[in-house]
Amino acid sequence: MRKKAQKNGVYVRAYTGSSGVLLAMNIDDKRRAGLLGFAIERVSVGSGRRKWLNGLLNFPNVSLPPGVPSPTNVAPIQKFRWSDYTIEAGEKYQYSVYPVYGPPDKLRLEAGPTVAVQPQPTAGRHIVHFNRAAAASQAFSRRFADIDRQMAEARKQGRLGEFRLPPEVLTWLSRGLLEQIVAFLAQAVNATWAVDIAIYEYELGAIREAVEAAHRRGAQVRIIYHAKPGDPQTAINEACLASIPPAQKRPRITSNICHHKYIVLSRLKKGIRTPVSVLCGSTNFTENGVYRQANVVHVVNQPDTAKEYLTLFEQIFGGASQSATRQFINDFDRINLATPLFSGFSPRSNPEDLEAFKAIVSGAKRDVLFCTAFDLDDSIEDALIGQPNDNILRFGIENQRSRISGFHADRTANFAAAAMLNQGLEGFLRESTRGQRGNILIHAKVIVVDFTSDNPIIISGSHNFSKSASRNNDENYLVISGDTDVADAYGCEVLRIYDHYRFRFKVSQPAKTRGFRPLALDTDDSWTNGYFTPGSLKMLDRHRFCEIPPAKSK
């Protein structure tokens, strides 16, 4: 849902996803003089509760502990974009944006526009859930202060490995992601339903119980699981699948990995499946996948899409080898980006998928947002980085250091997503990386092209945009074109992850860089200079996220 409003020369555009609202502001040039920033007030329509959105910067000489937020009517936002990730499903909100003037010790808030929004519903054709993961560390420390202190004490005593987060914390970290998987499986209420699962890592007890419960209700359950010989994950999967009858599970033996994470839900009549919907995305069925790594679950309630996933499932469950699967996909799943929703699969004989991804990114006209996990194919990395001094806004972060890692929109420096903080939730995360493959904080594989336009393109799935993912692995992905609601669900979250690690990088610099000025708010309107410098990326940012409509001719 996208909404716009304007008042007194101030403009706001709201991009509303399922778990956050991105507010983009703009202002007439004549109102820029003396502007100290923006204050944003949120009203929950149902309850009437009012709240000033918070920021983490203050004016100089205001002393607060690191990470303690300040309301924006006291410490205004000196940016033309801000986000709210404290929204609740089913609630309606109104956001009022006030331009702030006056000296810092005597602020004056002037009238500005109000925009009404509602988070995307957890129903409909597309349902998208991102968990909170490591990018919520600061919010965790504020929200669960007692747990934070307990973890710090456990760390001092050397028993952090024994510490278990309570259920309410795990629920908060999941932010509906696990609940969506469980609810999806719960739809298989009896023997008239079928559930078909293709999975790389099958471990988390809550998901296993939901699968077994569907089996006990009489639903026909089948599972394909990663079973590469000699891989420790194979033994884990087989142990966790011990209760599933042998006829209902198939080991997927390939030279690489069965990297799928999807579930097809079908109606069952006389042994024939009629697909209803499919759940896919980047989330492995593990504690790491649900709670620690940044991941996404995407449900498509569209029978023809579910049918494509089921068709591939039948091939593999029926015993198709890796080479036979590759040939089947070559013939069955020809790349077609002309359709609004394309379902893609691997392995392939030729890199048509990589070529398609490159073409999508290279065709960007306004912006590219992305978060990726592992080594990218060079052609994809080149496309994401773009050409020097091009006019495309690029906001991206990769889990491990590469030519990208993470970079400023103005490309002045790179920053690493994998750098952990010492306090709070990250102690739990650091302790727990022993149970996962590498130091993975970002596991979602998402690219959003032309997010700020009316015709965005979203790529999301298990595919890591690599040669291995294209040629050798079992993978799946969606390419969705022209759906601004889906783009908002993804774009708001990609920017959350990006902004979080970007802020970490900036906070870390004073200790490393001689002469680096500690982060604080400017006491005059100089912070706006970059946003009004012709040709600058900051000016592009201001214009593209919230364009000022052309003046009406008299």
pLDDT classification of 502: cutoffs 50, 70, 90 = confident
Give the model confidence (pLDDT) of 416-448 as tens digits: 544 444 444 555 555 455 455 556 678 899 999
The closest alpha carbon to 312, from 346, 348, 349, 267, belongs to 346
Question: Long-range contacts: 237-245, Cβ < 8 Å, 24+?
Answer: 237/199, 237/201, 237/202, 237/203, 240/202, 240/203, 240/208, 241/202, 243/212, 244/211, 244/212, 244/215
pLDDT at position 412 is 47
Region 459-468 average pLDDT: 96
Give the model confidence (pLDDT) of 317-350 as tens digits: 999 999 999 999 999 999 999 999 999 999 999 9
Give the model confidence (pLDDT) of 523-548 as tens digits: 999 999 999 999 888 899 999 999 98
Radius of gyration of the chain (CA): 24
pLDDT at position 410 is 47
**Strand-pair partners of 394:** 368
Q: Which residue has the higher pLDDT, 155 or 553?
A: 155
What domains lie within the chain, and their CATH numbers?
A: 2-121 (2.60.40.10), 126-505 (3.30.870.10)
% of the chain at pLDDT higher than 70: 88
